[in-house]
Amino acid sequence: MVLAEHFPVLVIVISMLAAFTILLAGKVNKKAAFPIALVTIFIQLLLSLSILKRVLTEGTIHYWLGGWSPPWGIEYVIDALNAFVLVVVLFMSFMCVIYSKRSIEKEQPRNIVLFYVVFQLLITGLCGITVTGDIFNLYVFLEISALAAYALIAVAGGRALKASYNYVIMGSLGACFFLLGAGFLYAVTGTLNMEDLSRLLPPLYENRAVQAAFVFFAVGLSIKVALFPLHVWQPDAYTYAPSVVSVIIATAMAKVSVYALIRVIFSVFTIEFIESYVGIDVALCWIAAIGIIAGSVLAIMQTNLKRMLAYSSVAQIGYIVLGIGLAPMSAWGLVGAVAHILNHALMKGCLFCAAGAFIYKLGLWDIRDFEGLGKKMPYASFAFTIAAISMIGVPPCTGFASKLFLILASLQATETLPFSGYFFVAVLLTSTLLNLAYFWRVIDRIYFVKSEEGHEEVGGQEIKKADVPFSMVVPMLILAVLCIVVGILWLTNLPLPFIEQVLADLGVGVLPQW
Amino acid sequence: MVEMLTPLFVILCPLIAAPLILLLGKWPNIRDGVAIAAGIATFSLVLSMINPILEGDVIRISFQTLLPGVAVGFKVDAFGMLFALTSSSLWILVTIYSIGYMRSLKEHAQTRFFFSFALAIFGALGIAMSANLVTMFIFYEILTVSTYPLVIHDQTAEALSAGHKYFAYLLTSGCFFLFGLMLVYYLTGTTDFTNGGIAALGALNPAHKWTLIILFFCFLLGFLKAAWMPFHSWLPSAMVAPTPVSALLHAVAVVKAGVFGIVRIVCYIYGVDLMTSLGLGLALACIAGFTMIVANLFAIAQDNLKRRLAYSTINQLSYILLGAALLTPDGVKGAMMHIPFHGYMKITLFLCAGAIMVATGKKNISEMAGIGKTMPVTMLAFTVGALGMCGIPPAVGFISKWFLCAGSVEAAETISPVMIMFLFVLLIASLLDVVYFFPIIHTAFFKDPEGVAGEPKVKEAPPSVVIPLAITATFSIIFFLAFILRPVDVLAPYVDMLSMHIYDLVDIAVGNVFT
């Protein structure tokens, strides 16, 4: 198949073309915007699935843009990891776009066309970050997606403007750091191609510029992923953005930034570099561990549901970064991180969808007003509950699998770091209980706490059901079911070939055997 | 070793029943019918597995996981079978009882009740049949979460705070369990329940003695469902739930899962030899002995019947722990027997307490004067259960206590003379049992209610409430008779069948532990 070879670039090109098409078609008829976005993202999803299949059977795909061979031309490199992330991103985007139809019609009736244009640009940026094998190209897509995200958040107006402004400042800082890192590396090696860099860098590991570049990358991307304590932009941005935007930036966008971090650490640099020159792995672990606890504690203090979820994301990003930090000591760490990219996207996507649904129908955002919601909005409440249980890590939901891998990694890390390893285990287990504390409070309100007004009629009077439109319920329920199904999948050995390929591609070694 | 899909079907019955119950919520009769049908199907499937196990086989079905050396799956051996039999047979009776109870009291949210109930049984059966710690953990957590809606059923402030306490204790305990199992996996590369204990764990003994000891206490904390003191207070608090829930918690699923887990750890993860050489038997026995005495002292002080029964449960669970801690064949035998026996007797008591509530609305023992005359069947059943708790024939509690006493004497001979002290603990605890159970019987039968003249009228609870408790009481006696009549060749097959082969299963299980 000749066409199949061009899939990596098609994923991006059709997305970008769709953005302009939506703009033009939207001028003629506002109603055209949604179907175009839906179809485009669906096609992208199919392309990404085909790419994943091809990567898993044939190995890494190298695509030379315009036929220019690297290191002069831009190269797209897709191995098991980014094929996987691409699927996750596009799947979440697909869910979002289904969800967005009614949600945006209600929240932003005047900006529908522009919303879909920018949304499509955001997807373009995210896909670009995922597929590219060129560090400067990665920066370009990072900026495309970030600019789109600033606009999408600001569209809500009011407090969202301030949130977006904060995000612009912090996001730009992050991007600057990243650009500086890329510049330093270019100055030292004269190349921007990741594979080329990874070949040229090892002799230069002692070079201060290279080490500084690494730190720039790490800090810049930490801002982008909202790693504690660089998360300050994130809660406002997630809280005040339109519902569907919260979903997409909390799931797809955050995950892509994490992917970029993994890529820089393991593919541009290597584990040897981290271990011997910049002891950042242990530092990352500790920062992540503190972030897990701090994020959870901050989440407990919130009464605004979306804000609580935002802080919960800070904690969950900590899980992923902890996994990355543990990777040099245990291959399980990376497995946990990669698994949690998918798991967290599913869970948080579902939670934000449900939170958006509560706002959509009843205007409820304060947890204290949630009494009796379980009867009023059974489907949204059900989806929320499943995802929340999954976040707590009750088996066999997805959260449990991540926890299992990370605990195993921490235990293995005790061989090199006796104290820290057990500390991380304790952090992971404590965070389970903290998750329980803030999620169960919500579930209790939704289902069990009787409201004070006493409209809990005896004698079986029907409480008016007021669930959200079908197109919003479906993505929620799909995600909720996936929270369980994927959780079970992680427990089986089906993902094993994929995991082994990821570990081999990133040079992390193999899973330990007994 | 037999590969069979039956364990999967057993699990699937309640799992499929749960959403059906939810969907059929608008038609209560069909919904309750589904619950009963699922119960009967589950029980028959469990029974169908009994033959290979009696022949000494083990039924297995498992799926490899991502973790090398760990397969999530089921392994039904004689000990697992005991627990599975207990919970699946009692589920049918409790379901019938609940239908009568919930309808008589016009409880709200019955659909949620039956839904959670089915999920809880799903969890309990999963625990019973799990092949390793990972599988057990999965079902253990499912059991915890699914029983929460049952505990807070009333949705009052008191019920909610009891529920929070329940969660705080049990999910924290789940963290310890998870840590313990991951550590076992990390140290040995397996978490399978093995006859005689995991060999690789035993190999760590002299070098990593303290790791093993700490690990054991992690597991003890992980199985807080066994309600050992001082971490028991969630159990009496959870008594705010409706009576069938208490029955489920105390007899069928929750606390049994806790003691079942500890026995699994003692006998199938650590193994008797390792336990002995680490001296952990004595430590566990001390905890159990302490709990037995103190729980009974607490029980004496309670006036609320259900709370008194709750403390009695805490005490009885520690009998099982003590039996396992004695690390002798007779002790373990007593412990294993006591799981089904205590299940049948304690459920009788709880069902009686519920029946009294349905018929008269009384909750406190002091109000129950003369109730034996108005509710003769119920109180007769209660007497049987109470006799069993005290270990007096003809109730079956006598037999397990007999073996426990024999076990402690044996332990004194083989392990250390100190162990004889637990014989006295057992006897004192039994005496205390008498102290708080006999006054109830006395009040019910021999005291006249104040201000009521003339011959009292018989006024029992509805049949669907009374019949299950009569059945469990009868079985508490049948098990006893079965033990006596087993040596008679002619009767043996019938008696064994009627007693669900419990004695055979226990013998096989003990044989496995002491290979």
Closest CA in chain B for residue A430: B175
- B305 has a pLDDT exceeding 70: yes
What pLDDT does residue A459 have? Answer: 40
Residue B103 CB contacts under 8 Å (≥ 6 apart), including other chains: B28, B110
Within an 8 Å CB–CB cutoff, is residue B63 touching chain A? yes
Over the stretch B286-296, which tens digit does the pLDDT of each residue have? 999 999 999 99
**A432 and B142 in contact by Cβ < 8 A?**
no
Residue A414 CB contacts under 8 Å (≥ 6 apart), including other chains: A420, A421, A422
Map residue B155 onto helix, strand or coil: coil
**A514 and B189 in contact by Cβ < 8 A?**
yes
Nearest to B68 among A407, A449, A514 (CB): A514
Which ranges of A201-242 would DSSP assign to H, the alpha helix? 208-225, 234-240
Closest CA in chain B for residue A409: B186
A10 pLDDT tier (thresholds 50, 70, 90): confident
In 3D space, the residue among A415, A513, A411 whose CA is nearest the CA of residue B183 turns out to be: A411
Place of tokens 């992917």: A259
Residues B278-305 have a mean pLDDT of 90
CA A73/CA A95 separation, integer angstroms: 34
Map residue B459 onto helix, strand or coil: coil
Name residues 470-489 of chain A within 8 A of B (Cβ): none
Nearest to A425 among B64, B179, B185 (CB): B179
A272 pLDDT tier (thresholds 50, 70, 90): confident
What pLDDT does residue A341 have? Answer: 92
Residues A263-277 have a mean pLDDT of 83
Name residues 360-419 of chain A within 8 A of B (Cβ): 389, 392, 394-396, 400, 403-405, 407-408, 411-412
Least confident of A113-117, A242-246, B492-496: B492-496
What pLDDT does residue A460 have? Answer: 42
- A194 has a pLDDT exceeding 50: yes
Within an 8 Å CB–CB cutoff, is residue A29 touching chain B? no
What pLDDT does residue A144 have? Answer: 92
Closest CA in chain A for residue B177: A429
**A444 and B138 in contact by Cβ < 8 A?**
no
At B513, list the tokens.
Answer: 């532990």
Percent of chain B having pLDDT more than 70?
A: 99
CA B95/CA B14 separation, integer angstroms: 12
Contact of A34 with A120, CB cutoff 8 Å: no
What pLDDT does residue A66 have? Answer: 80
Least confident of A57-61, A116-120, B1-5, B438-442: B1-5
Q: Which of the residues A338, A412, A429 would you substitute to probe the B interface, choosing the one with the greatest number of B C-beta atoms within 10 Å? A: A429
What pLDDT does residue B72 have? Answer: 85
Q: Which of the residues A326, A390, A451, A493 would you substitute to probe the B interface, choosing the one with the greatest number of B C-beta atoms within 10 Å? A: A493
Over the stretch B363-416, which tens digit does the pLDDT of each residue have? 888 888 888 888 888 899 999 999 988 888 888 889 999 999 999 998 888 888
- A465 has a pLDDT exceeding 70: no
Strand partners, A492: B65
Residue B462 CB contacts under 8 Å (≥ 6 apart), including other chains: B100, B104, B358
What is the rounded average pLDDT for all residues in chain A?
Answer: 87
**Could you give phi then psi for residue B2, rounded to 5 degrees?**
-120, 135
Burial class (CB in 10 A: 0-12, 13-18, 19+), B210: exposed
- A274 has a pLDDT exceeding 90: no
Contact of B122 with B257, CB cutoff 8 Å: no
Q: Which residues of A touch B155 (CB under 8 A)?
A: 448-450
Contact of A274 with A280, CB cutoff 8 Å: yes
Where are the domains positioned within chain A? Answer: 283-451+466-514
Over the stretch B9-31, which tens digit does the pLDDT of each residue have? 888 999 999 889 888 888 888 88
CA B339/CA B252 separation, integer angstroms: 10
- B57 has a pLDDT exceeding 60: yes
B456 pLDDT tier (thresholds 50, 70, 90): low
Closest CA in chain B for residue A392: B171
Residues A143-160 have a mean pLDDT of 88
What pLDDT does residue A457 have? Answer: 44
- A458 has a pLDDT exceeding 60: no
What pLDDT does residue B454 have? Answer: 62
- A290 has a pLDDT exceeding 90: yes
Percent of chain A having pLDDT more than 70?
A: 96
Q: How many CB atoms lie within 10 A of CB A464?
A: 7
- B248 has a pLDDT exceeding 90: no
Within an 8 Å CB–CB cutoff, is residue A425 touching chain B? yes
CA angle B5–B8–B14, rounded 5-degree value: 145
- A292 has a pLDDT exceeding 70: yes
**Could you give phi then psi for residue B485, rounded to 5 degrees?**
-85, -10
What pLDDT does residue B487 have? Answer: 84
Contacts 24+ apart (CB under 8 A), A426-430: A427/A289, A427/A292, A427/A293, A427/A322, A428/A292, A428/A319, A428/A322, A428/A403, A429/B175, A429/B178, A429/B179, A430/A293, A430/B175
Contact of B255 with B235, CB cutoff 8 Å: yes
- A461 has a pLDDT exceeding 50: no
What is the rounded average pLDDT for all residues in chain B?
Answer: 87
Q: Which residues of B touch A395 (CB under 8 A)?
A: 137-138, 141-142
**A493 and B64 in contact by Cβ < 8 A?**
yes
Least confident of A122-131, B123-132, B378-387, B494-503: B494-503
CA B256/CA B345 separation, integer angstroms: 13
What pLDDT does residue A463 have? Answer: 54
- A180 has a pLDDT exceeding 90: yes
What pLDDT does residue B205 have? Answer: 77
- A453 has a pLDDT exceeding 70: no
- B261 has a pLDDT exceeding 90: yes
Interface predicted TM-score of the whole assembly (ipTM), two decimals: 0.89
Over the stretch B153-199, which tens digit does the pLDDT of each residue have? 888 888 888 888 998 999 999 999 999 999 999 888 888 888 888 88
Over the stretch A300-330, which tens digit does the pLDDT of each residue have? 998 899 999 999 999 999 999 999 988 888 8
Place of tokens 């066409």: A3
Q: Which residues of B touch A407 (CB under 8 A)?
A: 178-179, 182
- The secondary structure of A399-459 as a DSSP string is HHHHHHHHHHHHHHHTTT-HHHHHHHHHHHHHHHHHHHHHHHHHHIIIIISPPTT----ST
Residues A2-25 have a mean pLDDT of 87
Over the stretch A83-97, which tens digit does the pLDDT of each residue have? 999 999 999 999 999
User: Could you tell me which residue, A464 or B43, shows the higher pLDDT?
Assistant: B43
What pLDDT does residue A346 have? Answer: 92
Q: Which residues of B touch A408 (CB under 8 A)?
A: 67, 182, 185-186
- A178 has a pLDDT exceeding 90: yes
- A102 has a pLDDT exceeding 90: no
Residues B213-242 have a mean pLDDT of 89
* Helices and strands: H and E segment counts in chain A: 22, 2
What pLDDT does residue B220 have? Answer: 92
Q: Which residues of A touch B189 (CB under 8 A)?
A: 513-514
What pLDDT does residue B60 have? Answer: 87
